[in-house]
Amino acid sequence: MTVQEIVDEDEFTRLTDPYRRELLAFCYSMLGSVEDAEDLVQETYLRAWRSFGGFEGRSSLRSWLYRIAANRCLTALERRPRRPMPSGLAGPAEDPDVPLLGAEPGTTWLQPFPADPAVIVEGRDSVRLALVAAMQHLSARQRAVLILREVLAWRAAEAAEVLGMTPTAVNSALQHARARLARAGHVEEELTEPAEPDRRALLGRYVTAFENADVAGLVALLHEDAVMEMPPFLTWFEGRAAVIGFLERRCLGSAGDFRLVPITANGQPAAAAYTRGPDGVHRAHGIQVLSVHGAAITRIDTFLDPGLFAAFGLPLTITR
């Protein structure tokens, strides 16, 4: 590499790195996968670097990067199935003691995202789990339009430039996206959460109750219409009684069987759950993402995949 190439690369890095995190959030919102989003951002920056010498500044650098990322996401989604949650595939189980069902082989599930709203200022709402799950019902282009127009608050002309559409087509796609989200049952109020100190306190109470197998403590925290999903299991539960019944009889065990590490996922309160083995070592079990409305937990989405822990910078085992 020549001196000039090193200088150009340093300049490219200085100018483009501030957008990396928000582009990662954008790609995750489009794809529903942490790994896929990271790969697409890498591709975006590689393509941008190769074309950097020809960037003439007719649009902003940010818009230029979004155009590359959006095109990569649209291409990727042409050959990838949507990533559902269990509630998008089947109705809730009525009996907490029902055998847990697995999905069809090859099902690719939605993944949680290790994002804190304090880090992602632009597009922070685009990574909320309820919205990303609802967007799995949209076409790839509708997803892109919804994020750019509704979340990032771009003008129709700006979104049209990025997506290679006309402003009229962008507005039409936005209307169709809103209608499909409404049919899918997504409402904005589901994303409403308490202030940060109250949110931390609620998460602390949840962690304590779960670790102590404190059923009464969990009952006090859950909304009466609470939902619990556990991909890769197709079985899910709706209603506080059903959720508590499953937790009490089939999950919690005894005090100390679980250890929970408070984290943030999708900009929401979350916890990494570890289960204790016969040797006393707690091993990675799943990432629990909580949705909160007011002072109550409305959803517990538990992703039973220890492979996700690395994305959150978490070890696979912990000992006291």
Give domain limits for the chain: 1-80, 193-318
Report pLDDT for 34: 93
Separation of alpha carbons 40 and 289, rounded Å: 24
Write the CATH number of the domain with boundaries 1-80: 1.10.1740.10
Domain 193-318, CATH among 3.10.450.50, 3.40.50.970, 3.40.1160.10, 3.30.70.2740: 3.10.450.50
DSSP-derived 3-state class of residue 25: helix
Report pLDDT for 320: 65
Report pLDDT for 1: 45
Report pLDDT for 197: 83
How much is the pTM?
0.89
Separation of alpha carbons 259 and 29, rounded Å: 30
Cβ(161)–Cβ(66) below 8 Å: no
Instruction: With CA atoms as reference, report the closest residue to 18 among 45, 40, 38, 37.
Output: 45
Instruction: With CA atoms as reference, report the closest residue to 152 among 115, 122, 121, 113.
Output: 122
Report pLDDT for 3: 38
Looking at residue 195, what DSSP letter applies?
A: -
Instruction: With CA atoms as reference, report the closest residue to 260 among 248, 274, 244.
Output: 274
Tokens 């996968």, located at residue: 33
Which structure tokens are listed for 223? 């909304």
- Helix (H) / strand (E) element for 12: namely helix 3-16
Residues in the chain, pLDDT under 70: 1-7, 56-58, 116-125, 186-193, 320
Report pLDDT for 192: 55
Instruction: With CA atoms as reference, report the closest residue to 138 among 91, 197, 88, 204.
Output: 88
Which structure tokens are listed for 82? 């949507």
